[in-house]
Structure 1
């Protein structure tokens, strides 16, 4: 566990692979996305390459997951920070930690899809634009 202070002096603890409960994730997800969490978190995380969470005390305020193909490709998913804690470097630190862990666990590539408005954030995390394709299935 790594601890740092953000710019409001709130102690933020970063944990790699903490396997949070759905009860921990649900309030963060609702605050950040405006929707209820609809996945099976235990199922998802046991199949992930890595994930990381940020905590202010016992409250989870950040989350990111890395799925993978079982080989060299990893996929960054669900970068989420509670709106109360945004713009403090939490998401960037979460991405850094999972990128390091993915590299150490054998991934050669870390992919991410994002909306255009997040381009500056992901570039600041070290991602570069590439051509990609997308089919909406639902």
Structure 2
């Protein structure tokens, strides 16, 4: 699928460094050197990429339980391309593909500042969920 000269693809090719750079810029952190391809191959149901020419400008990873539940992770769009509908299209394509693969529910955890994107732009409904921080305490 192509929107405004951006090509969106299920399981589009990604380079670890380019995905690390897009992820870092979208989440406001430094590149972490994540072995993305290994993670995607071993832990994902699938992923969706958005490219403008040969430049990666958006990404979402989808994991699941092998049945009814699929989960969006790492939804990110390059900051200079946010607001163009790329993220909404990534989630739309991810939902369509998850449904095609037999999932009934698409989950996403998000901070309150991202609620309008997930709820208004993408149609997700807010639910209660729990989260446990597994980072070792420094005290």
Fold match by TM threshold 0.5? yes
Does residue 126 (structure 1) correspond to residue 120 (structure 2)? The answer is no
| Correspondent of 1:35 among 7, 30, 35 | 30
Shift in Å at residue 38 of structure 1? 4.2
Moved over 6 A (4+): none
- Aligned pairs (5 A) from 1:11-50: 11-33=5-27, 34-46=29-41, 47-50=43-46
Aligned length: 132
RMSD: 1.2
State the distance in 1 between where 2:38 and 2:126 align.
Answer: 30
| Correspondent of 2:134 among 126, 133, 137 | 137
Contact persistence 1:19–1:45 (CA under 8 A): no
State the distance in 2 between where 1:111 and 1:101 align.
Answer: 14
Identify unmatched segments of 5+ residues in structure 1: 6-10
State the distance in 2 between where 1:127 and 1:44 align.
Answer: 26
Shift in Å at residue 130 of structure 1? 0.7
Contact persistence 1:29–1:37 (CA under 8 A): no
Q: Using structure 2 for the length normalisation, give the TM-score.
A: 0.89
| Correspondent of 1:86 among 82, 87, 92 | 82
